[in-house]
C-alpha cells in the first residue's frame, strides 16, 4: 500500500520522507493556506524532496480554465499530479489533461457513480473522502469498498486513493479493503506507531532493567 502525506507542511513531509514512509503527497487549497506559503514555491519544494506524485489542485471551476491551470501546475515539476474536482467540468479537464500525458487526481469524490465516471475520464487517481462522509453519518469506508469492487469488476487502472483519513482505523480498514493508496495527515501516520501495550511493556522492561544496575553503554 502506498502512503501519501496529506499536508503542505515541509518539515512534516521531510521527516516522513527520511523515514522511508512516503510514496507521495497530496495538497489542496486549504492545506496551502495553512502552510502560509505561495502555491508554486511550496509545491516545488515538496516535489524536489519527494520522489512520488505530488497533487496540486486547480481552483478554476470551468473546464478550459481548469486545463490552463492544470498545465501551469504540471510545469512546476515532473512529479505533479493535477488535482481536479469531481464535477462535469472537472471530468472534461481530466480527460484533456490525461490525454496530454498528465497524471490526474480526481478529488472530492463522494459516490461510486462519480468514481466510475472518473475512471472512464482517464483519472490516474480517484480520491474518495472518507472522513467527510462519516461526518454526515454516512459510511466513508463503504464507498472505498464499492469503488474497489467496481474498478476490479471492469479492470480500471485508476488507483483508489483513500482521502479525508481521520484515524488509524481508517488506514487499517483501507488496507484490508485494498485501497491502492491512503493519504493521511502526518499526525495520523505517526499515531499508527502508538499502542498502549507497547508503552506499558516498555515501562516494565525499563523498570526491571533499572533494578539490574547494569549499563549497555
Query: Which residues contact ligand E4P (rule: CB under 6 A)?
Result: 6, 26, 28, 107, 127, 129, 131-132, 163-164, 183
Which residue of the set 2, 44, 72, 83 is catalytic? 83
Q: Closest CB to ligand E4P among 43 and 107?
A: 107
**C-alpha cell at position 114:** 462519480
Reply yes or no on whether 83 is catalytic.
Answer: yes
Strand-pairing partners, residue 83, are 57, 105
Q: Closest CB to ligand E4P among 54 and 112?
A: 54
Q: Closest CB to ligand E4P among 128 and 209?
A: 128
Q: Closest CB to ligand E4P among 2 and 132?
A: 132
**H or E stretch at 208:** helix 196-212
Q: Closest CB to ligand E4P among 7 and 212?
A: 7
Q: How far is the CB of 92 from ligand E4P (least distance, A)?
A: 20
Q: What are phi and psi of 189, to 5 degrees?
A: -65, -40
Calpha distance 70→122 (Å, rounded): 15
Q: How far is the CB of 183 from ligand E4P (least distance, A)?
A: 5
Residues with Cβ within 8 Å of 200's Cβ and at least 6 positions away in sequence, in order, are none
Calpha distance 19→212 (Å, rounded): 33
Q: How far is the CB of 184 from ligand E4P (least distance, A)?
A: 8
Q: How far is the CB of 71 from ligand E4P (least distance, A)?
A: 20
**C-alpha cell at position 106:** 480526481
Residue with cell 522492561: 205
Residues in the chain, total? 217
Q: How far is the CB of 201 from ligand E4P (least distance, A)?
A: 32
Q: Which of 95, 161, 88 is nearest to 122 (CA)?
A: 95
Q: Which of 138, 137, 194, 205 is nearest to 168 (CA)?
A: 194
Mind telling me the catalytic residues?
A: 83
Amino acid at each position: 500500500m502506498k502512503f501519501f502525506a496529506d499536508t503542505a507542511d515541509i518539515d512534516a513531509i521531510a521527516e516522513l520522507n527520511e523515514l522511508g514512509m512516503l510514496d507521495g503527497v497530496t495538497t489542496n487549497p486549504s492545506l496551502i493556506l495553512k502552510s502560509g506559503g505561495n502555491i508554486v514555491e511550496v509545491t516545488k519544494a515538496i516535489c524536489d524532496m519527494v520522489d512520488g506524485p505530488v497533487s496540486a489542485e486547480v481552483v478554476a471551476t470551468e473546464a478550459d480554465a481548469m486545463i490552463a491551470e492544470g498545465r501551469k501546475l504540471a510545469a512546476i515539476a515532473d512529479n505533479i499530479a493535477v488535482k481536479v474536482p469531481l464535477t462535469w467540468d472537472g471530468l472534461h479537464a481530466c480527460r484533456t489533461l490525461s490525454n496530454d500525458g498528465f497524471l490526474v487526481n480526481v478529488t472530492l469524490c463522494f459516490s461510486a457513480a462519480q468514481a466510475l465516471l472518473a475512471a472512464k475520464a482517464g483519472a490516474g487517481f480517484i480520491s474518495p473522502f472518507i472522513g467527510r462522509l462519516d461526518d454526515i453519518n454516512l459510511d466513508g469506508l463503504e464507498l472505498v469498498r464499492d469503488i474497489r469492487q467496481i474498478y476490479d469488476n471492469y479492470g480500471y487502472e485508476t488507483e483508489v486513493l483513500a482521502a479525508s483519513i481521520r484515524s488509524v482505523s481508517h488506514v487499517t480498514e483501507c488496507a484490508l479493503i485494498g485501497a491502492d493508496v491512503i493519504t493521511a495527515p502526518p499526525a495520523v501516520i505517526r499515531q499508527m506507531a502508538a499502542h498502549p501495550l507497547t508503552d506499558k511493556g516498555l515501562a516494565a522492561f525499563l523498570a526491571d532493567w533499572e533494578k539490574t544496575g547494569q549499563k549497555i553503554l
